Amino acid sequence: MAGSVRISSACVCFFCLLVEPFGWEDNRRGMIVRVLPDQAAGRLLDYRVPEAFGSAVAVGSRVKVPVRTRLLTGTVIEVLEHSDVRGLRDLADLLDERPMIRPALLELARWMADYYCCPMETAVCSVLPVAVRDGKVSEKRRNTVRMARDIPAEEWEALERRAPRQTDALRVLLAASAAVLVTEAAAKAGVAEGVFRTLEKRGLVVIESTVVARDPYAEKFLSSANLALNAEQAVALQAVEEAMADPSPKPILLFGVTGSGKTEIYLRAIRKAIETGRTALVLVPEIALTPQTVERFKSRFADMQEKIAVLHSHLSDGERHDEWHKIHGGEARIVIGARSSIFAPLENLGIIIVDEEHENSYKQDEAPRYHARDMAVLRGHREKAAVLLGSATPSLESWHNSQSGKYRLVRLDNRVDDKRMPVVRVVDLRQAARKSPEGGILSRPLKEAIEGRMAKGEQTILFLNRRGFSTSMICEACGHVCMCPDCSVSLTFHRAAERIVCHICGHSSRAPKTCPKCGDPGIRHAGVGTQKVEEAVKRIFPKARITRMDADSMTRKDAYRETLGAFKEGKIDVLVGTQMIAKGLHFPNVTLVGIVNADLGLHLPDFRAGERTFQLLTQVAGRAGRGEMEGEVLVQTFTPFNPSIQFARHHDYEGFMDQEMEFRRQFGYPPYGRMVLITVRGTMLERTQFSAETLSRKLKAAAPTGVVVGDGVPAPLEKAKTYFRFHVSLRGPSSIQMAHLVRKTLDALPMPEDVFLAVDVDPLHLL
Ligand code: ADP
Ligand code: ZN
């Protein structure tokens, strides 16, 4: 099972004994190390260190060790005085002169394995990026591949019939938001790398070697000077500096409205860390790790640009390898990165900053299912670094901690220069939609507002949290909805390719012209996606310059940067997009933000739905009026009186918190209680269900008082990627207590080979 770690005191495993049954040498002399191989089911094995390696082998060293007849790569977990294992084998090789994992990070991994209930080797692997783990990166592995052009439906159909492997390969590229490594794409598609070469010859994809471009942000940035802090900022910075001087500081929650100048505080704090000989780690959500963000940091530290490392998911293996070694070697003093950068091997940390701390993307959705913000708090505590969590809409968890005194609360209540918060108007779609068929997309007030902006040469952002053209294709005659054959969701229509696509698994097929079930030609597109919004705006404003920004339109690596550049230069009137445009962007000329449908997400079966909607509305609204002109936000909704919408409208974070906290308290939801969610997955319905029910029964039998174990029930997303999904949830006062219960139960419960488990401690997504 997935969550098992067997930390035996020493290996007496039969593999070792079998191979060298009569090794009676004296193991009590010389150096002995305990090694965790990357792929040996969590077994810890002891080895003797040959003298040739001298004292170079230490905790955290990456080594090669013989396991049975194979040589495996692993990590030294402990250096021992002696081992009780008879017939110890020798370490085969030492991979690097310096230990690759610092002891502090190894400890963090150990803690993570325990808390998040995952195997130790999974935790260890996550503190060491793949690009580094596997040793030297060869040049040819840095080839990336992307789509060369759109493929018309006929061509696609033909290709799929003739060469299904090629369409498999293309599907991976269609689903990716940027160029991907050829090796990765091939693995994902389950095809040979040669398939991409064939596609390249056909002119369908472009393969590029990224050998030279090792620093993705290699341009030089002009230096930017400190800004004179306003009074609120000065107080905030003071608090941060106090924490940095404190040997065991409390984390700080910086609660600052959008546009209140939080970044300036971050920049000053980083400078302080550097000046006092320490290092700084900055986490930003992947989606906000834009060239614009990087530029803000790099330009402030223009005097030390080569000492800044940037880590994000678009890096090629080679780039990641280089950036990581720059940090590990002590050359980089400032690290900016997404979630996994929390494990950046910086030493002597002065401050860890987590921007937009409420962001869900800080939670990893595969094992180890850690939350980078929580890891930041833990790492800061262990390494005696200040921790600064910033947000305009702090998570309930962090807000709770700031109220209970666990965190220190620092506020920025006003926008810089007393710029006013944008005026938010709510448009009732129930009436608008009734009046005109298009009213459901662009109501009359929104239409007029856009018109007004265009006349004045100001810019508009239209936000919709759903890509594609329409959510589903539905037959008016028989009510048939086109569903994914492998997932329990409807297929989304994508107009450009004339295809219907599953947003869960990527399955795609040609969009039907008639109902596949009853043959009626009245099949229509229901629901609204970004493509439909784009089309509607184009139809209504034929002269407007409109660009769409979502995962479908931003498949090229540079597309994002180019679009934002064009928008900044005023070459685009209306930018239509998904979350991609909601976060952290700063455009002074944007005076109107339209939220096309605020209800998406509100009605999900998830107790955090209200919190997410409030946060999203506040963040999107925060994009308006960041310049001299005042901003206006129009929120279209079918539920105008929903509290999330009303509180967001009045910029009343605390009002929302009060109400939401009360709701959570009543039901014992986080932050008042803790949760563990186990997903049981399998292709055989009955076996999967039975496994979930058995697991629930065992957990109930072993649960201490105070821990409530739910039944094995179908997950809200019942089927995904051909797997049936069941949930078993646990609720109780302590996550770690439940994690231990789960581990103990699972270790004693054999699962069928084709049933898979995922344990999520402190889950954020309940689907
Ligand atoms: P937040 O991250 O809180 O939304 P930002 O840090 O992006 O806000 O700041 C908003 C804008 O205000 C930025 O353009 C920034 O350069 C500017 N700014 C921040 N602090 C000051 C200051 N003390 N004086 C003048 N402008 C400032
Ligand atoms: Zn699917």
Could you please report the per-residue DSSP string of 102-116?
Answer: -HHHHHHHHHHHHHT
What's the CA-to-centroid distance between 116 and ligand 1, angstroms?
Answer: 37
What's the CA-to-centroid distance between 487 and ligand 2, angstroms?
Answer: 4
Residue type, 182: V
Protein residue with its CA nearest to atom 4 in ligand 1: 259
For residue 299 and ligand 1, the question of a CB distance below 6 A is answered with no
pLDDT value of residue 81: 81
Report which ligand 1 atom has the smallest distance to the Cα of 296. Answer: 16
674 CB-contact burial (10 Å; exposed 0-12 / middle 13-18 / buried 19+):
buried
Q: What is the DSSP letter of 490?
A: B
Does residue 166 register a pLDDT over 50?
Answer: yes
**Cα 691 to Cα 703: distance, rounded to the nearest angstrom:** 18
Could you please report the per-residue DSSP string of 441-476?
Answer: TS-HHHHHHHHHHHHHT-EEEEE-S--SSBSEEEET
For residue 584 and ligand 1, the question of a CB distance below 6 A is answered with no
User: Would you say 349 and 383 are in contact if contact means Cβ atoms under 8 Å apart?
Assistant: yes
**Omega of the bond prior to 368 within 30 degrees of 0, cis?**
yes
Number of the ligand closest to the Cα of 175: 2
**Cα 346 to Cα 327: distance, rounded to the nearest angstrom:** 6
**Cα 327 to Cα 308: distance, rounded to the nearest angstrom:** 9
pLDDT in tens, 680-702: 999 999 999 999 999 999 999 99
State the pairing for strand pair 713-720/723-732: antiparallel
User: Would you say 510 and 531 are in contact if contact means Cβ atoms under 8 Å apart?
Assistant: no
Protein residue with its CA nearest to atom 2 in ligand 1: 262
Could you please report the per-residue DSSP string of 369-437?
Answer: --BHHHHHHHHHHHHT-EEEEEESS--HHHHHHHHHTSSEEEEE-S-GGGPPPPEEEEEEHHHHHHH-G
CB neighbour list of residue 724: distance below 8 Å, 6 or more residues apart: 681, 682, 683, 684, 685, 688, 689, 714, 718
Q: Other C-beta atoms within 10 Å of 180: how many?
A: 20
For residue 233 and ligand 1, the question of a CB distance below 6 A is answered with yes
What's the CA-to-centroid distance between 473 and ligand 2, angstroms?
Answer: 15
**Omega of the bond prior to 671 within 30 degrees of 0, cis?**
yes
Sign of CA dihedral 463, 466, 467, 469: negative
Q: How far is CA 316 from CA 138, 312, 332, 428, 677, in A?
A: 12, 10, 19, 46, 33
97 CB-contact burial (10 Å; exposed 0-12 / middle 13-18 / buried 19+):
exposed
**Cα 730 to Cα 710: distance, rounded to the nearest angstrom:** 6
Does residue 13 register a pLDDT over 70?
Answer: no
For residue 394 and ligand 1, the question of a CB distance below 6 A is answered with no
Give the global pTM.
0.80
Give me the mean pLDDT over the 354-362 stretch: 95
Ligand 1 mutation pick, 299, 416, 626, max ligand atoms within 8 A of CB: 416
pLDDT value of residue 488: 80
User: Would you say 165 and 195 are in contact if contact means Cβ atoms under 8 Å apart?
Assistant: yes
Record the tokens describing residue 378, joined without a space: 């833990």
pLDDT in tens, 635-647: 998 888 989 999 9
pLDDT in tens, 190-226: 888 888 988 998 889 988 876 444 455 555 566 778 8
Q: How far is CA 361 from CA 284, 316, 369, 500, 550, in A?
A: 10, 21, 11, 27, 17
pLDDT value of residue 439: 62
Does residue 417 register a pLDDT over 60?
Answer: yes
pLDDT in tens, 26-48: 444 578 899 988 876 778 889 99
User: Would you say 99 and 60 are in contact if contact means Cβ atoms under 8 Å apart?
Assistant: yes
**Cα 548 to Cα 532: distance, rounded to the nearest angstrom:** 10
Beta pairing partners, 756: 681
Does residue 17 register a pLDDT over 90?
Answer: no
Number of the ligand closest to the Cα of 413: 1
For residue 261 and ligand 1, the question of a CB distance below 6 A is answered with yes
Does residue 675 register a pLDDT over 90?
Answer: yes
pLDDT value of residue 222: 65
Helix (H, G, I), strand (E, B) or coil at 80: strand
What's the CA-to-centroid distance between 488 and ligand 2, angstroms?
Answer: 7
Share above pLDDT 70 across residues of the chain, in percent, rounded to a whole number: 91
488 CB-contact burial (10 Å; exposed 0-12 / middle 13-18 / buried 19+):
middle
What's the CA-to-centroid distance between 508 and ligand 2, angstroms?
Answer: 8
Element (H, E) at 728: strand 723-732
What's the CA-to-centroid distance between 229 and ligand 1, angstroms?
Answer: 9
Helix (H, G, I), strand (E, B) or coil at 173: helix
For residue 419 and ligand 1, the question of a CB distance below 6 A is answered with no
Mean pLDDT, rounded, of the chain? 86
Q: How far is CA 742 from CA 43, 529, 765, in A?
A: 20, 40, 19
Residue type, 3: G
Ligand 1 mutation pick, 257, 264, 412, 623, max ligand atoms within 8 A of CB: 264
**Cα 608 to Cα 669: distance, rounded to the nearest angstrom:** 9
